Structure 1
Amino acid sequence: MQKDVVLSRSVQVSGRMLCSGQAGGPVVTAPVGLSFWGGVDPLNGIVLDRHHPLAGECLTGKVLAVPGGRGSCTGSCVMLELILNGVAPAAIIVCEHEEIYTLGALIAQVFFDRTMPVLQISREAFVLLGQYRFARIEGQTLILSDEPTTAMPAPSAPIAQEPGGHDIALAPIDRALLAGEHGKAAQVAMRLVLKMAELQGATRFMDVTQAHIDGCIYIGPASLRFAQMLRDLGAKVRVPTTLNAISVDRRRWRELGVDATLGEPASALADTYTDMGARPTFTCAPYLLDSAPAFGAQIGWAESNAVVYANSVLGARTMKYPDFMDICIAITGRAPYAGCHRDEGRRATCAIDVQMPEGADDSFWPLVGYCCGAIARHEIPLVRGLENTCPTLDDLKAFGAAFATSAGAPMFHIAGVTPEADRQPDLPRTILSVADLLEGWKELNTGDAGCIGLVSLGNPHFSASEMHRLADLLEGRMCSEQVKIVVTCGRAVFEQATQAGDIARLDAFGVQVIQDTCWCMLGEPIVPPDTHTIMTNSGKYAHYAPGLVGCRVRFGSLADCVEAARTGAVSDNPPAWLQPATTLHPNALPA
């Protein structure tokens, strides 16, 4: 009997090296971006994101090919930990603009002499990856093949090159920073900012008026070592700088039962950034602070939800800066003049026409944000059909956080709502129907009907108005003794809510309010080990929680969360405004 003969194939593709090195291995590929924060375990390289096509896949030693990053800016921290733990992918291949993976790899290379190449190829070449089993990167060349190619040399760290900057106009302050005239830490930081500018294609730098640091989240020893190295080199921030939510309640972690193996290094990391001059604001919603930037202000923010809110709702200007780049911008006061800092980089590139259902409650906003992000991916969308909805700032906060979870884009526009939205009739158009919203609702609701053990509120951090509304909703109700209600917020909001009397009201109902940290960093004992299902009104946490804490999630409105806390149970039926007989809002866009 004649056997089939399979001929080995190979093809070479030219690309753009984002982080140098050479490596090879089996290819794992997916058509959607992957957030390494909340999506990949830094200790073993396994994909945690239950919503991703690669869920459960171990990336260690493999060539990961995804269009680009999405979700959290903290992915660069996770990437660094993966590399230093020896469980990172052998290499990463992307086809979209990508900075989060790249910066984590660059930090590993520059500071720790460890290499993981990142290569950008064309979208046309990217579609070939699924046809081959193995890939190897050599310089700017990608070799795809059916069989393992000749053994690669052991990865070694290339000699760090001095930044050229020959295509970037350097102002006197840039030259002084690069020459070390403002200290060693500022010199190192400016070199990294210059590298980022080269990747972004910037032609000059600009001043920023403030920075927000997301890299203060403790992922592992590497994030602490990086910050301490900068501090020990004499780093001080040059512009007003706020700090994101950290991994513990800085003042109460022992009282809350957090293990010292997390509490001590997480506190040390927070202290390291305050030593460099950052304000201990510890909030993932810096737009709620009195220092929130004005329209048109050039800023350097990290934290995905904060970035999209600043750009989209406030009209301030920032790129979606990865962790580590945020502190470099704060130390230098300089940022590449690229992307969303420029008028051209803020324009909508696609349109999403939403069919607004009649009678939608507040869970509509995180749900539609999540669905719009999944459609837009790396494009900046103009969302239409919501012109007459009059969303509150809390609604826009919820929309932005969910959008930033499923998208890689740094901003959105909502026609008739956000300050820079304009009508562009010739944009590529996608319809987001009520049926599509129902599918999104099903994706976020991973838990079955039945008992819940925890109500999670405040991701992103609760505002003072949300505190007040929660206290009103709880008025006159008795909550189940089997259900914990936990709210996270920043220190400033806690003080506002205390003065308004809302903290005392929430205390009376047994609501636990935790400051400084947020749900994406919380585990045991705040999440009891016997908890199987969590109820939340956050689209962001509904996405991340199954991978982060291993619990199923029920997603709904704030009133739904209060009702679940009262009864200790939840239905698996979608809200009435999402069910098949739903009528459209009178002003809904036609299909």
Structure 2
Amino acid sequence: MYLTNDEERALNGEYGEALEMAYRILSSIGRLTNANHLIKISSAHVSGVSYSTIGDYGKEFLENLSLNAKVSVPTTANPAGLDYQNAYGFNINSNYVSGQIKIIEAYRRLGVIDSFTCTPYEGFYLPPKGSHVSWAESSASIYANSILNLMTNRESALSALASAITGKTPYSELHIDELRKPSLSIQIKMDDFSNCVKFALLGYFAGRITRGPMALQNIKNPNPSEAKAICAAMGTSGASGMFTINEKMDKVERMDFTNDELKTVYDELNDAEKGDAIILGCPHLNVNEINEISEFVGDRRLNKKCLIFCSRKTYEEARRKGYTDRIEKAGAKFVCNTCAVFTPIISNLGVDKISTNSCKAAHYIKRVHKISINLKDVNEIIKESCR
């Protein structure tokens, strides 16, 4: 892979250990992905934030790095493993709290925006359409390519961090127009495709079929909530980084998605008739989604624990608009800047079954926390959980 003289000097350590490490990471990835050179990016989104996923080794790496490095482009960060403004809530032990707060402090020293959300495109900096970016978090990178008309590969925690520091990424895969063309067309053959869960089940099915871009046919343009559902589920079940909607395709492989395929995926993820608690916000909810929940709840009370995950910025805006009042009066709790899956909060609920509208949450909660899942659309969950 070609490097400029300046990049070569950075790779050789002339500009310090942090840049040397970052360029070594990008050079290795570039060689593996057949990149010819590096290109400039407009923004980055880093994962590897929750103490549940990176532990002490990741914490120490970030602490050391943050002493000598700064990000060079606007950079947002994925959710943490707890709400650091309510760090000791939900019976989280002090060692976990300490480790998580040190990770957050390290990212702040690096200059990362205080976002801590898996939906950085909602309420935070967005570069112009067509921009090259380096986004980790599978659902966000798929959303960037498919909905926002940005260009990014599905980055890892390390590669996105290296790009954030250097402001560059290898020119490969989904950064190249020719490689963004779908090689598979999925034909949706269903009359009723009316809620986010069905869009998520489609995404979970599609993610398993191909690693490359795909075209989803015979489907209405998804609204932001439905698009998030597709992206999160697709990123969970497979390695594809992009889809298109109703793009005309010639001479590509075709596959059908019918009620039979939908039922197969649903039966795999759903293994409980009802939940003992409710988890909403995987991916994080936006202000409009919080308003919808408020309208569903009305003046009723919830008869079980309900946790709603969103960014702190989203929560504050929803609170100012009066959307959170009825939800909190109904008995639900908002958990800000926290991952709805990779957190001890879920296990500490002390329940055997959880209701959620998220295929991503269903997939990981079953595997990480060994809790059964009742998968339903949000209005159905609220309807059966209110009195």
Structure 1 position 382 matched with structure 2 position 215: yes
Partner residue, 2:7? 174
Task: Please report the TM-score for the alignment, with normalisation by the length of structure 1.
Answer: 0.63
Conserved? CA contact 2:347–2:369, under 8 Å: no
Determine if contact 1:214/1:303 at 8 Å carries over to the other structure: yes
Match in the other structure for 1:328: 162
Over 3 Å counting, the alpha-carbon distance change for 1:542 and 1:525 in structure 2 is closer
Distance (Å, rounded) in 2 between the aligned partners of 1:517 and 1:352: 34
Amino acid of the residue matched to residue 264 of structure 2? E
For this pair of structures, how many residues does the alignment match? 385
Query: Alpha-carbon deviation of 1:359?
Result: 6.1
Q: What's the secondary structure of 1:335's corresponding residue?
A: strand
3-state DSSP class of the match of 1:458?
strand
Aligned pair in 2 of structure 1 residues 479, 527: CA closer, same or farther (>3 Å)?
same
Task: Report what 2:380 is aligned to.
Answer: 560
- Relative to its length, the structure with more helix (as a share) is 2
Root mean square deviation of aligned Cα: 1.5
Cα separation, 2, equivalents of 1:512 and 1:454: 12
1:293 aligns with 2:127: yes
2:115 counterpart SS class: coil
Partner of 2:172: 338
Quote the residue 2:105 is aligned against: 271
Give the equivalent residue in structure 1 for 2:320: 499
- 2:135 matched to 1:310? no
Name the CA distance, whole Å, in 1 between partners of 2:178 and 2:65.
34
User: Aligned AA for 1:466?
Assistant: E
Report matched runs for 1:88-167 at 5 Å. Answer: none
Deviation, structure 1 residue 506: 1.4
CA contact (8 A) 1:366 1:401 kept: yes
Q: Summarize deviations over 1:56-95 as a string: whole Å, max 9, x none.
A: xxxxxxxxxxxxxxxxxxxxxxxxxxxxxxxxxxxxxxxx
Name the CA distance, whole Å, in 1 between partners of 2:104 and 2:294.
31
Shift of 1:217: 2.2
Q: Of the two, which has the highest radius of gyration?
A: 1
Helix, strand or coil for the counterpart of 2:116? coil
Is 1:224 paired with 2:49? no
Number of the residue aligned with 1:442? 267
Sort the Cα spacing of 1:323 and 1:259 in 2 relative to 1 into closer, same or farther, 3 A: same
What amino acid sits opposite 2:195 in the alignment?
D
Residue from 358, 365, 372 that aligns with 2:206: 372
Unpaired stretches in structure 1, ≥5 consecutive residues: 1-167, 416-421, 568-591
Are 1:248 and 1:521, in contact at CA under 8 Å, matched by a contact in 2?
no
Could you tell me which residue of structure 2 aligns to residue 533 of structure 1?
353
Equivalent position amino acid for 2:59 in 1: L
**SS in structure 2 opposite 1:223?**
helix
Larger relative contact order (Cα-Cα within 8 Å, sequence gap ≥ 6) = 2
Distance, in Å, in 1 between the alignment partners of 2:346 and 2:260 is 38
Which residue type is aligned with residue 133 of structure 2? I
Q: Indicate yes or no: 2:348 matched with 1:523.
A: no
How far 1:361 moved relative to its partner? 2.9
Structure 1 match to 2:240:
409
Alpha-carbon shift at residue 522 of structure 1 (Å): 2.5
Give distance in 2, aligned partners of 1:257 and 1:367: 33
| 8 Å Cα contact 2:50/2:343 also seen in 1 | no
Contact persistence 1:456–1:519 (CA under 8 A): yes
Bigger Cα displacement from structure 2, 355-364 vs 284-293: 355-364
8 Å CA contact retained: 1:210, 1:299: yes
Q: 1:455 aligns with which of 275, 278, 283?
A: 278
CA distance in 2, matches of 1:270, 1:494: 19
Give the aligned partner of residue 235 of structure 1.
69
Match of 2:227 in 1: 396
Q: Which residue type is aligned with residue 177 of structure 1?
A: A
Query: 1:542, 1:355 → 2: CA distance?
Result: 25
Structure 2, unaligned runs of 5 or more: none
1:282 positional shift: 0.5
TM-score, normalisation: structure 2: 0.96
Deviates more, 1:455-464 or 1:355-364: 355-364
